[in-house]
């Protein structure tokens, strides 16, 4: 951690093969965000305090101090006062950082922000996964507003990411959410109803087929839904692209064997 924050010199002292500029040095005349400051080792906190006080940083294994001018933003998901009592956050470091304090309420206490947060997350996820999801259905937003979100925005993003991958385009609908997603409690909404014969995105399963046949049908359905995009299909199926390719190879071999047997007969 100290190497990442303050940098290091190459040489026998550090074992590094090249010099590395730390976060403070790289952010000179800019901003450093220290996330989860309460989880930083106490020894590192002491060195951080000196950097903040002196505005000088020394790389590990170095002999010279380098001047740095940065704006520091520190964040934590726990009470700083409690962290001080638990001896996990130095009191002097806390008071040095606590110039302007902004308390961000948990997501469950600012649910009116959820639509705007979803819009921002959608823009990022569409770009990340090459999708074209245009929005979130009002029924889904209602579910989001009724959830308690113990994981806050990170949890919302994870739920959204899965839904974006499954939807691919259009709006996120209730059936794009995992039936087991938790916004504090398991989702109680009914699973996707059985599809009609004309549905292209649902699979009707009646009692009788073996599990292998059901798996094969579902893999083919997902590939059809993703226009044969194996990367997206693997994400929806929850497997690696290599596992999917191996499975498709097995299916192709089985189909070829069946075709050969039919010709011989």
Last residue of some domain: 153, 176, 199? 176
170 with 117, same domain?
yes
DSSP string for 62-77: --S-EE---EEEE--S
Average pLDDT score, the chain: 84
Angle at 180 between CA 77 and CA 116, to 5 degrees: 50
Looking at per-residue pLDDT, the higher value among 138 and 214 belongs to 138
Measure the CA–CA gap between 154 and 165, rounded to whole angstroms. Answer: 17
Confidence of residue 123 (pLDDT cuts 50, 70, 90): very high
- Residue 185 located in a structural domain: no
35 with 78, same domain?
yes
- Residue 190 located in a structural domain: no
- Residue 192 located in a structural domain: no
78 with 133, same domain?
no
The tally of domains found in the chain comes to 3
Question: Which range, 89-98, 186-195, 199-208, has the best average confidence (pLDDT)?
Answer: 89-98
Provide mean pLDDT across the span 119-141. Answer: 93
Confidence of residue 184 (pLDDT cuts 50, 70, 90): low
168 with 252, same domain?
no
Of 62, 71, 59, 72, nearest to 22 by C-alpha is 59
6 with 81, same domain?
yes
Is the pLDDT at 141 greater than 70? The verdict is yes
CATH of the domain at 23: 3.40.50.300
Last residue of some domain: 78, 97, 116? 97
CATH of the domain at 253: 1.10.10.60
73 with 144, same domain?
no
Confidence of residue 192 (pLDDT cuts 50, 70, 90): very low
> Tens of pLDDT along 218-229?
888 888 888 888
- Residue 66 located in a structural domain: yes
CATH of the domain at 163: 1.10.8.60
11 with 93, same domain?
yes
Is the pLDDT at 113 greater than 90? The verdict is yes
Is the pLDDT at 16 greater than 90? The verdict is no
- Residue 201 located in a structural domain: no
Last residue of some domain: 122, 154, 176? 176
Q: What pLDDT is attached to residue 198? A: 38
Residue with tokens 């009191």: 91
29: left (phi over 0), alpha (psi -120 to 50) or beta: left
84 with 113, same domain?
no
Is the pLDDT at 195 greater than 50? The verdict is no
What are the beta bridge partners of residue 105? Answer: none
117 with 84, same domain?
no
60 with 15, same domain?
yes
The continuous run of DSSP H or E covering 21 comes out as: strand 20-21
Domain that holds residue 130: 107-176
18 with 54, same domain?
yes
- Residue 194 located in a structural domain: no
- Residue 218 located in a structural domain: yes
153 with 218, same domain?
no
- Residue 188 located in a structural domain: no
């Amino acid at each position: 951690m100290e190497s990442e924050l303050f940098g290091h010199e190459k040489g026998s002292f550090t074992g590094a093969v090249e010099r590395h500029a730390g976060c403070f040095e790289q952010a000179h005349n800019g901003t450093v965000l220290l996330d989860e400051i309460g989880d930083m080792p106490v020894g590192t906190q002491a060195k951080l305090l000196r950097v903040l006080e002196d505005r000088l940083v020394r790389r590990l294994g170095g002999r010279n101090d380098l001047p740095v001018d940065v704006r520091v933003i520190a964040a934590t998901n726990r009470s700083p006062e409690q962290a001080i009592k638990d001896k996990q956050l130095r009191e002097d470091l806390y008071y040095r950082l606590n110039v302007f304090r902004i308390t961000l309420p948990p997501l469950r206490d600012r649910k009116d922000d959820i639509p705007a947060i979803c819009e921002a997350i959608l823009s990022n996820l569409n770009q990340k996964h090459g999708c074209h999801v245009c929005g979130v259905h009002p029924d889904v937003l209602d579910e989001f507003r009724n959830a308690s979100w113990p994981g806050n925005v990170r949890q919302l993003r994870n739920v959204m990411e899965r839904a974006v991958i499954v939807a691919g385009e259009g709006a996120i609908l209730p059936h794009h959410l995992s039936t087991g997603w938790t916004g504090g409690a398991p989702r109680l909404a009914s699973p996707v109803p059985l599809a009609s014969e004309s549905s292209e995105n649902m699979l009707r399963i009646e009692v009788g087929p073996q599990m292998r046949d059901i798996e094969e049908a579902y893999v083919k359905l997902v590939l059809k839904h993703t226009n044969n995009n194996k990367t997206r299909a693997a994400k929806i199926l929850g497997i690696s692209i290599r596992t999917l390719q191996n499975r498709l190879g097995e299916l192709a071999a089985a189909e070829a064997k069946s075709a050969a047997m039919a010709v011989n007969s």
